[in-house]
Every structure is written in C-alpha cells, then in structure tokens.
Amino acid sequence: MAKIVVISGSPTPNSRLNGLLDVVRQHVENRKWEYNEIEVRSLPAEDLLHVKFDSPAIVEANRLIAEADGVVVATPIYKASYTGVLKAFLDLIPQKGLDNKTILPLAIGGTIAHLLAIDYALKPVLSVLGASNIVGGVYALDAQVTRLEEGGFDLVDELQDRLQNKINAWIQQVDSSTALS
C-alpha cells in the first residue's frame, strides 16, 4: 500500500486550493492508500520562522514525508511565486528529503500570467530537495473553482479533466515506484 503526503502551502483554511486537494484525496482513498496532509499554516509559526529542525511538529511532518511514496505539493500563487509559509516549511525538509518520491505540484492563482510559477518557482526548489520524479503540475485559476454553499467545491470541466489526467499519471508513477521497492 502506497503512502501519500499532501503538503498544503495555503495560509487560509478556506482556500480554493482545497477544491483541487479534495480531488486528490478522493483518488488516494479510492485506491485504499494511506493519506496524510501537512497543512503548513497549522505548524507552529515560531518553529517555521526560527527554523527549528528539532521541533516535534517539524520532526513529525518530516517523518511523514520520509515514509511517503508520493508527495503532492500544493500552493496558491502570490506575486508570481508560491507562498512564504510553504517556503518556510520547505527550508525545514532535509536536503534530500524528496529523493525517491513521486511529486505532483498543484497551484492556483488569480491570473493566467502566473501559469509558469510551477516550472520557474516551485520545481527548482523541489529539485534541490532531491525530487527527480516530478509529474507535470496543474495550475488552476481561482475562477475555475467555485465554493458551494453547502460546502465543498465545484471545478469547471476543463480543470477537472486536466487534474484527473495529472493525478492518474502521478498514481501510475507511484504504483511503478512502489512495485519496484
């Protein structure tokens, strides 16, 4: 059984990014894989700001990542880059902490102008952390994800299709890597 960790870099609990993560969670749960989520905003701020590698919360988050086969790194895009809170956490992951992990980057932003933020801002940092198997990411526009009154989210069909395709490719690669181990 594969182990999956989602790292959510959203600073707000009601982010439209959660609409994308709900789809990932459904796929993982349908496969009966182990699912864990690290909401970086929930980690102790002092530990993030003061780079406390020995913080129990940071040690536990890094343990989940170390044991994972697949990792989803998800972030809103602000000012053409991923969030500061995500960067603070990525700085606390060991140098090769993403080695031998299959990575799926997800991002959401307000404008198509930030479409390349995954490739030019996020992927280089993930590579420095040892990620060599990064599935092509999904960039969504805020306007493509609607919050529903009764809770949850609705994704436009085009985004739903792109997201499904990338999740399926990521799942195949996680399956392949776990079959080899």
Domain ranges of the chain: 3-180
Cβ atoms of residues 74 and 9 within 8 Å: yes
Q: What is the pLDDT of residues 84-140, one digit of tens each?
A: 999 999 999 999 999 999 999 999 999 999 999 999 999 999 999 999 999 999 999
- Residues 131 and 77: their CA atoms lie apart, in Å, by 21
Note the CATH number of domain 3-180: 3.40.50.360
- Residues 103 and 126: their CA atoms lie apart, in Å, by 9
Q: What's the mean per-residue pLDDT of the chain?
A: 96
CA distances 153 to 19, 58, 83, Å, are 5, 30, 22
Q: How many CB atoms are closer than 10 A to CB 32?
A: 9
Q: Which of 73, 67, 105, 98 is nearest to 181 (CA)?
A: 67
**In the structure encoding, which two tokens stand for residue 129, read together?**
């952390």
User: What number is the average pLDDT over the span 164-176?
Assistant: 96
User: What number is the average pLDDT over the span 41-66?
Assistant: 98
CA distances 5 to 72, 75, 104, Å, are 6, 14, 10
In the chain, the N- to C-terminal Cα span, in Å, equals 11
Flag whether pLDDT at 181 surpasses 80.
Answer: no
User: What number is the average pLDDT over the span 43-64?
Assistant: 98
